[in-house]
Amino acid sequence: MSLVTLGVVAILFAAGTYLILQRMLSRVVIGLGLVSHGANLLIMLSGTGPAQPPVVGESPVAAVADPLPQAMVLTAIVISFGVTAFLLALALRSYLLTGSDAVEDDLEDLRIRGADGAEKGSAT
Amino acid sequence: MSWLLPAVVAGPLLAAGLTIFVGRRLWLQRGITIVGVGFVLGAAIALLVAADSGSAQVTQIGGWAAPAGITLVADRFAAIMLTVSASMLFLVLIYAMAQLRRDALDWWFHSKYLILTAGVALSFVTGDLFNLFVGFEVMLIASYVLLTAKTGPGEVRATMSYVVINLVASAMFLVIIAFVYLTTGTMNLADLSRVMVDIDPAIRNGLGMLTLVVFGIKAALFPLFMWLPDSYPTAPTPVTAIFAGLLTKVGVFVIIRTQTLLFAGDEPSTLLLFVAGATMVVGVLGAIAQNEIKRILSFHIVSQIGYMIMGLGLLSVAGLAASILYITHHIVVKTGLFLVGGLVESEHGTGALDRIGGVLHRRPVVAMLFLPLALSLAGMPPFSGFVAKLALVQEGIALDHGLIVGVSLMVGLLTFFSMTKIWGAVFWGRETEATDRAAPGMLGATVLVVALSIAVAAFAGPLADLAARAAGDLIDPAVYADLVLGAGQ
């Protein structure tokens, strides 16, 4: 397992987590993209384990790269691609409805918090 | 008969493609969906009968033998879950067709519902960790689209948080897959259960914790449940009802499967019992603070998940059997409660407790549908919740875990209180004007769900025996491994 690649995975996860915690939907989408890249890279690294490539053929198994992590990453990429497209559509819809791409507070939460906040407000 | 296994996944997917193909010819779309979901229900029952009579079905996709190929397997536990889920999917479909026809959302709904069915079925029958990821994603992507049925600001906001939290969990699932493949070199669950025993306990426990976190998010366990009450209530009733009944329970299914098959300890898990208790308490307290039918019920989903995890935490045959019984009862009752909530909401245009009243006098039928479900949720005899809770409490006492038993009984009482809150505000009190009347199909489907929940109570004996046999399979990982890989290897 390459230490450099592992470092890249760590950086992708750190940057992705930071972006996901932002309020702007466009940043959240980019953050999710980074996190899933990190996860995919990690799966690529996992091919160096004790796994025997499930290959039937003429060349010895040791001479072949393990195709399974690559197949898994390919599937994962397609899935995250589809979901990212959906998220972007949702972010656009949110922008068209509210005029900004910030995540809004839940009205019901605000209402329940409001009952509490009003008491505090009157006390001060 | 093993062709049924790939068919429960491929059938609804094929039907989904067909519904898109026939476009706006609604009667054709409806017919295809009924056939598609009905087929899954029939196949699920056949698989359950086969699994319980000792010939559980196993299929190796493409003829590649496990552990190299992808395995589909319906053991007792998976077949029970599939049967209960498919029956709910079928009944909610009837309800949905009646309601959505009125709301003119019908043409849009069917393909997503069928894809959801396929995803749920694949998650239950898959015997491969990566394939489980795929099944989950198929289910979740359909659920994202179903949540955005109406694209108002509320729905977009709710869906956004739902999608983001699920994507984070999915990315973490990929991390688990990477680590598991790196340490064991296999993705097949049965093969993993044999290899895991030799893995360094520190790594094994770490993987177990990661799995618990990821599926704890999907199953809405304490402290990872915040997304659920936030996102479920905004969708149309049939969508919320099927999400409430099924999606979190698929998460619970995977937790039980992985914790018994791959990461099983030797004694009751204090961590799981703590998580179970905290989930119950926080969920029910959240429900009491709410003022809207669907939001109250959403918090109760969280609370009830605690009971299912409690049985797993006890880690005995009787405990797991109680969990399985609880899941069976809960899927039916919870779906039913949301359908009744939807009936009230669609007749009054709102679910806010302070704006509805006197439903008992105007619509006694609706009140009579709510009553058995609410009492069952609270665990009152003679309804199904009582039977399931009794099994859990008995086993808790037998294993000397008095604290969790006390907590679970307390939470039952608080659940009862929260149900009386709905009853007092909505069904008693001053009569309010109804704006509309629920379609007969909606009422009929709800009656069937209630009848099924009463049937769970009436046939509690045979069901408990079945759950005990399923739990017996779960407690010994070798049963599952021998089923998939053959006993000799």
Contact B373, B384 (CB under 8 A): no
Question: What's the pLDDT at B172?
Answer: 92
Check B168 against A93: CB less than 8 A apart: no
Residue B56, φ and ψ in degrees, nearest 5 = -60, 140
Query: Taking CA atoms, what residue in A is nearest to B292?
Result: A108
Task: Please count the other Cβ atoms lying within 10 Å of the Cβ belonging to residue B46.
Answer: 17
pLDDT tens for each residue of B280-295: 999 999 898 888 888 8
The A residues from 90 to 119 touching B (CB cutoff 8 Å) are 90-91, 93-94, 97-98, 103-104, 106-109, 112
What is the CB neighbour count within 10 angstroms for residue B97? 23
- If we measure between CA atoms, which residue out of B367, B477, B484 comes closest to residue B422? B367
Tell me, what's the pLDDT at A109? 66
In this predicted model, what pLDDT tens digit does every residue of B430-447 receive, in sequence order?
Answer: 777 777 777 888 889 999
Q: Give the C-alpha distances (Å, rounded to integers) separating B163 from B93, B213, B225, B302.
A: 24, 17, 14, 18
At residue B59, the pLDDT reads 85
Residue B104: its pLDDT value, please?
65
Is the minimum CB–CB distance between A74 and chain B shorter than 8 Å?
A: no
Say how many domains are in chain B: 1
Strands (E), B315-446: none
Ranges B161-175, B424-438, B450-464: which has the least confidence: B424-438
Residue of A6, A75, A66 lying closest to B185 (CA atoms): A66
Whether B86 shows a pLDDT value over 90: the answer reads yes
Mean pLDDT in chain A? 81
CATH number of the domain encompassing residue A83: 1.10.287.3510
Local confidence band at A115 (pLDDT 50, 70, 90 cut-offs): low
Are B394 and B468 contacting, i.e. CB atoms less than 8 angstroms apart? Answer: no
User: Is residue B168 pLDDT above 70, yes or no?
Assistant: yes
Question: Per mean pLDDT, which range of B105-109, B198-202, B226-230, B398-402 is the poorest?
Answer: B105-109
Structural domains in chain A (count): 1
pTM over 0.95: no
SS3 state of residue B350: coil
Omega before B67 within 30 of 0, i.e. cis: yes
Burial of B50 (0-12, 13-18, 19+ CB in 10 A): middle
Which pLDDT score is estimated for A16? Answer: 94
**Is the pLDDT higher at A70 or at B349?**
A70
Q: Are B328 and B80 in contact (CB under 8 A)?
A: yes
Q: How confident is the model at residue B103 (pLDDT cuts 50, 70, 90)?
A: low
Answer whether residue A114 shows pLDDT above 70. Answer: no
A interface mutation test: which of B61, B174, B198 has the most A CBs within 10 A?
A: B174
Q: Which of A28, A52, A82 sits opposite B185 (nearest CB)?
A: A52
Domain of residue A113, residue span? 3-53+61-123
Distance of CA B241 to the CA centre of its chain: 10
Domain that holds residue B435: 4-485
In 3D space, the residue among B45, B142, B349, B161 whose CA is nearest the CA of residue A82 turns out to be B142
CA distance B184 to chain A (A): 6
How far, in Å, CA of B403 to CA of B302, rounded? 20
| A13-17, A114-118, B325-329, B356-360: least confident range | A114-118
pLDDT band with cut points at 50, 70 and 90 for residue B332: very high
Mean pLDDT value across chain B: 87
| B176, amino acid identity | I
Over residues B85-109, mean pLDDT: 83
Separation between Cα atoms, residue B36 and residue B116, nearest integer Å: 12
Tens digit of each residue's pLDDT (9 = 90 or more) over B130-145: 999 999 999 999 999 8
Mind giving me the DSSP string for B184-251?
HS--BHHHHHHHGGGS-HHHHHHHHHHHHHHHHHHHT-TTS-THHHHHGGGS-HHHHHHIIIIIHHHH
Over range B359-377, report the average pLDDT.
Answer: 87
**Residue B199's pLDDT is what?**
85
Other C-beta atoms closer than 10 Å to the C-beta of A61 total 12
